[in-house]
Amino acid sequence: MRILITTFGTRGDIQPFVALAQGLQAAGHAVAICTADGFQPFLAAAGVPHLPMNNALLELTKAALTEVTGLRDAIRIAGQMKPAIRRAMDDEWRAVQAWQPDLLVFHPKCLGSAHIAAHLGIPAVLTIPLPFYTPTQVFPVPFVALRSLGGLLNRWSYQFNRITSLMFARTINDFRQTTLGKRPISRFADALRDDAGRPFPILYPYSPAVLPVPPDFPAHVHVPGYWFMEQATPWTPPAELVRFLEAGDPPVVVGFGSMHGNDVATRTQAVIAALQTTGQRGILLRGWGGLTTTALPPTILALDEAPHDWLLPRAAAVVHHGGAGTTAAGVRAGIPTIICPFLGDQSFWGHVIEQRGVGPAPIPQRQLTAERLAAAIQTVVTDPGLRHRAASLGATIRSEDGVGTAVALLAALRAPA
């Protein structure tokens, strides 16, 4: 089977799709990924063919995360989004023409893929590591509320996900008419169904041990487990990292990934003060600029990056923004997690971590102080019950085969009746 994956996001967003591609290749399928040009070296190293998508949308996303300091910045970047999305949709079409897939696996931010699949009459599968698109009475749509609103309101809250259709209906219809030669659709059309009204199969690649599958999920929705990418060759850590790890107790790893926000210096000082107050050694991961790393004490080491699957099992705990990928890496390592969310689904995952008993209540960035973070760190390094639950959950996740399950599900879509 020939499979094309269209996806979008930061390195942490792309990596699970590379893991899926490698699993599909191992099962004998021909697979390529269409994503931003900047990821071509990453995909080449992973042995996955890359079909280009213009970097403009990724650069705008990065700008939104690192440069927006007020309404004027937000309006400026939003005004550039629609033409960038339109170019990305054309790139999706060119990728499909080049690869000629039998099956299309797409991230919902790739707005052209569902329409391309319908136009060509090939099956398409929506996938995102967040239960954002399937109404359930168990919890509200992750972007709207942190805690349950009650069964009916929880289910109704998923109308929120129609915002994309409303915002980009004109852009989508321009693509349908100009590029695909198809009729326009209503701006209120259900993005989760094809032109014939059939629902797209959905894969949510997270572990049901972390977030149990709601009993009201329909049969076309699957939760196969996390998609972890295995390194082809062992990572070689820099000498300074090896020396630091060998010099004392396991450190607390702190990093906010692609998040930036306001007042980075104040945030960094709060992290340093919290580590020193609790007597914990720390490693700061710089990411896209969520932390500054000048004038650090000898008990704290700064790194540009390090593979989570190598570093986190050597840590006492992890503090991060709550992105789906970093959350997955933390629970897989079997260590406690402290989530300090910025936006989007990060508060949702913070609440899930608290519910599972493997971390304290999330600390929103606007409420992040040295005192609050120190209290959270002290809890996760001293509470034996919490640490045992984290270790047990990690063992469960490491026993799962999310990629293998997903590969079997995708193969079944093309199996003869």
Considering the domain 2-226+400-413 in this protein, what is its CATH number?
3.40.50.2000
For 411, the token pair is 């193969």
CA distances to 252, 271, 300, 317, 407 from 293, in Å:
15, 11, 9, 20, 42
pLDDT of res. 77: 57
Q: In a 10 Å sphere around its CB, with 0-12 CB exposed, 13-18 middle and 19+ buried, how is residue 67 labelled?
A: middle
DSSP-derived secondary structure for 276-334: HHHT--EEEE-TTTTS--SS--TTEEEES---HHHHGGGSSEEEE---HHHHHHHHHHT
CA distances to 24, 118, 216, 368 from 129, in Å:
18, 23, 18, 26
* Domain edges within the chain: 2-226+400-413, 239-399
SS3 for 249? Answer: coil
pLDDT in tens, 370-407: 999 999 999 999 999 999 999 999 999 999 999 999 99
pLDDT of res. 358: 97
pLDDT of res. 170: 87
Looking at domain 239-399, its CATH architecture is: 3-Layer(aba) Sandwich (3.40)
Backbone angles phi, psi at 103, to 5 degrees: -145, 140
pLDDT of res. 417: 37
CA distances to 4, 29, 97, 99, 182 from 102, in Å:
8, 11, 12, 9, 21
Strands across the sheet containing 221-222: 50-53, 30-36, 2-6, 103-106, 124-127, 202-203, 221-222
97: left (phi over 0), alpha (psi -120 to 50) or beta: alpha
- Residue segments in the chain with a per-residue pLDDT below the cut of 50: 68-71, 415-417
Supply the Cα-derived Rg of the chain in whole angstroms: 21
Same fold? 2-226+400-413, 239-399? yes
For 381, the token pair is 């390094």
- Give which of 127, 154, 157, 143 is closest to 322, Cα–Cα: 143
Backbone angles phi, psi at 319, to 5 degrees: -115, 125
SS3 for 363? Answer: coil
| Axis crossing angle, helix 402-413 with helix 11-26, rounded to the nearest 10 | 60
Report the C-alpha gap between 136 and 215 in whole angstroms: 8
User: Which helix or strand (DSSP H or E) is residue 76 part of?
Assistant: helix 71-99
For 143, the token pair is 């972007």
